[in-house]
């Protein structure tokens, strides 16, 4: 198959180019971020998508469903197809890429579930989790049964999506690294609660230290006609007292630099001063590397997160590292955000959606 590459500043633009040039059924082979320096974009990054026209595709798998469109177009399944088409790797490459398969090959056999393993690794599932999952599958099951078994297993491990909070929690807070999309997510949830569920909503911002830190939230509050209070430094109780009549109070917080480790404990203590239970979502970017996610989870532990909220799925190639974090931290996923549009780009993290994203939507 003849592959072509397309570059653009936004993943959506690159995918639009692919669809324009190769048609809506184009097969995405690879996506990556590359430096735009060669194109004169000093310091800028570009998304590069490699794709082929469907008639060129080696295998006539049915097209994936269209929802949610951007990440669906980046199906790990497609990446796995590409890998199957590649020439046989050298033993050294095999050992580096896939030790279990290399070991089995040296013994003259074939590692069970090799194709599934490649798909999981391509979906950014850390190797230890991948091996633990595959070990639980009967070695002699065929690819269809193996995938069905794995789906069931991951669905059970994920459990239901957390939702916005528990029934008891009137106060819901959003914490997480700088720029992951906390304020935008608060605006999306506030808009839905106010406009769709017609609940009495209020906003509180703990983003008090930065010049212009609350400007976006102020604008959303005005647009939605809901009250916003900027909590004074270190405080929270008095700000919440202003909204004792609200059915739902969403608390936006500022991202914290790891250079100020003491600030994580301070944020935790501040949320602890609410005077009533706070349900806290730890927001993390879906494209974040597994090691980095671990560090973030560790840093934010003093805020006692109740759920993980994965943002910017539209910019992520795969969500294996998020699933791994959810299982390691033993807190449920709540929502997935798929773009900056308020209030549209937000979905509950239903486990079947998460497994579809992980395994490429091909139901066994
Ligand atoms: N592509 C994409 N962009 C998003 C998404 N959510 C938010 N953004 C964008 O990401 C940027 C940062 O979003 P904010 O909501 O300000 O992030 P934040 O976590 O509040 O940032 P700090 O308050 O600085 O910690 C903005 O340009 C948003 O429009 C998403 O799901 N996908
Ligand atoms: Mg913010």
Please tell me if the CB atom of residue 315 comes closer than 6 angstroms to any atom of ligand 1.
yes
Classify strands 201-205 and 307-311 as parallel, antiparallel or unpaired: unpaired
Query: Ligand 1 centroid to 312 CA: how many Å?
Result: 8
Cα–Cα distance between 73 and 289 in angstroms, integer? 20
Nearest CA to ligand 1 atom 2: 339
Cα–Cα distance between 162 and 41 in angstroms, integer? 41
The best mutation among 9, 33, 45, 181 to test binding of ligand 1, ranked by most ligand atoms within 8 Å of the C-beta, falls on 181
Nearest CA to 125 among 289, 330, 364, 350?
289
Q: Mean pLDDT score of the chain, rounded to an integer?
A: 82
> Assign residue 337 a region: left if phi > 0, alpha if psi is -120 to 50, beta otherwise?
beta
Nearest atom of ligand 1 to the alpha carbon of 338? 31
Please tell me if the CB atom of residue 178 comes closer than 6 angstroms to any atom of ligand 1.
yes
- Enumerate residues 6+ apart whose C-beta is below 8 A from 18: 6, 26, 28, 49, 51, 73
Nearest atom of ligand 1 to the alpha carbon of 10? 1
Q: Tokens for 171?
A: 């106060």
Per residue, what are the HEC states of 202-247? Answer: EEEECCCCCCCCCHHHHHHHHHHCCCEEECCCCCCHHHHHCCCCCC
Mean pLDDT in residue range 313-336: 95
Residues 8-25 have pLDDT tens digits of: 877 777 778 877 888 777
The best mutation among 33, 184, 282, 309 to test binding of ligand 1, ranked by most ligand atoms within 8 Å of the C-beta, falls on 184
Q: What is the pLDDT of residue 41?
A: 46
168 compared with 115, residue with greater pLDDT: 115
Q: What is the pLDDT of residue 86?
A: 44
Q: What is the pLDDT of residue 31?
A: 73
Cα–Cα distance between 104 and 108 in angstroms, integer? 6
The pTM assigned to this predicted structure is: 0.74
Cα–Cα distance between 283 and 311 in angstroms, integer? 7
Output DSSP code: residue 6.
E
Q: Give, for 69, the enclosing helix (H) or strand (E).
A: helix 69-72
Is residue 30 within 8 A of residue 75, CB to CB? The reply is no
Give Cα 249 to chain centroid, integer Å: 24
Residues 34-92 have pLDDT tens digits of: 776 544 444 467 778 887 876 654 443 433 333 444 444 433 343 344 446 444 445 45
**b or e along 158-188 (b: 16 or more beta carbons within 10 Å of the residue's beta carbon)?**
beebbebbeeebbbbbbbbbeebbbbbbbbb
Q: Give, for 7, the enclosing helix (H) or strand (E).
A: strand 4-8
Nearest CA to 255 among 161, 151, 185, 314?
185
């Amino acid at each position: 198959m003849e592959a072509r590459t397309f570059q653009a500043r936004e993943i959506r633009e690159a995918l639009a180019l692919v669809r324009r040039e190769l048609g809506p059924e184009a097969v995405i082979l690879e996506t990556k971020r590359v430096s735009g320096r060669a194109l004169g974009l000093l310091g800028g990054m570009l998304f590069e998508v490699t794709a082929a026209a469907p008639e060129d595709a080696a295998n006539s798998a049915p097209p994936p469903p269209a929802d949610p469109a951007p990440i669906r177009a980046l199906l790990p399944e497609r990446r796995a197809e590409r890998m199957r088409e590649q020439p046989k790797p050298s033993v050294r490459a095999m050992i580096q890429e896939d030790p279990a398969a290399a070991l089995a090959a040296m013994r003259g056999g074939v590692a069970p579930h090799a194709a599934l393993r490649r798909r999981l690794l391509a979906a950014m599932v850390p190797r230890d989790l991948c091996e633990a999952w595959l070990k639980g599958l009967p070695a002699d099951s065929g690819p269809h049964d193996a995938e069905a078994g794995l789906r069931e297993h991951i669905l059970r491990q994920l459990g239901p999506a957390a939702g916005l909070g528990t029934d008891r929690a009137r106060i819901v807070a959003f914490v997480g690294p700088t720029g992951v999309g906390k304020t935008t997510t608060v605006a999306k949830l506030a808009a839905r609660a106010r406009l769709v569920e017609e609940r009495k909503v209020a906003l509180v911002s703990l983003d008090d230290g930065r010049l212009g830190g609350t400007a976006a939230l102020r604008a959303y509050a005005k647009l939605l006609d809901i009250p916003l209070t900027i909590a004074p430094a270190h405080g929270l109780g008095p700000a919440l007292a202003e909204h004792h009549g609200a059915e739902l109070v969403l608390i936006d917080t500022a991202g914290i630099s790891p250079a100020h480790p003491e600030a994580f404990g301070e944020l935790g203590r501040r949320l602890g001063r609410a005077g009533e239970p706070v349900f806290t979502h730890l927001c993390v970017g879906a494209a974040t590397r597994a090691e980095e996610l671990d560090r973030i989870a560790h840093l934010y532990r003093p805020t006692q997160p109740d759920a993980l909220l994965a943002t910017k799925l539209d910019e992520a190639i795969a969500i294996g590292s998020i699933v791994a974090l959810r299982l390691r931290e033993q807190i449920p996923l709540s929502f997935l955000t798929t773009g900056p549009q308020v209030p549209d780009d937000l979905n509950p993290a239903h486990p079947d959606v998460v497994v579809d994203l992980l395994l490429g939507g091909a139901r066994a």
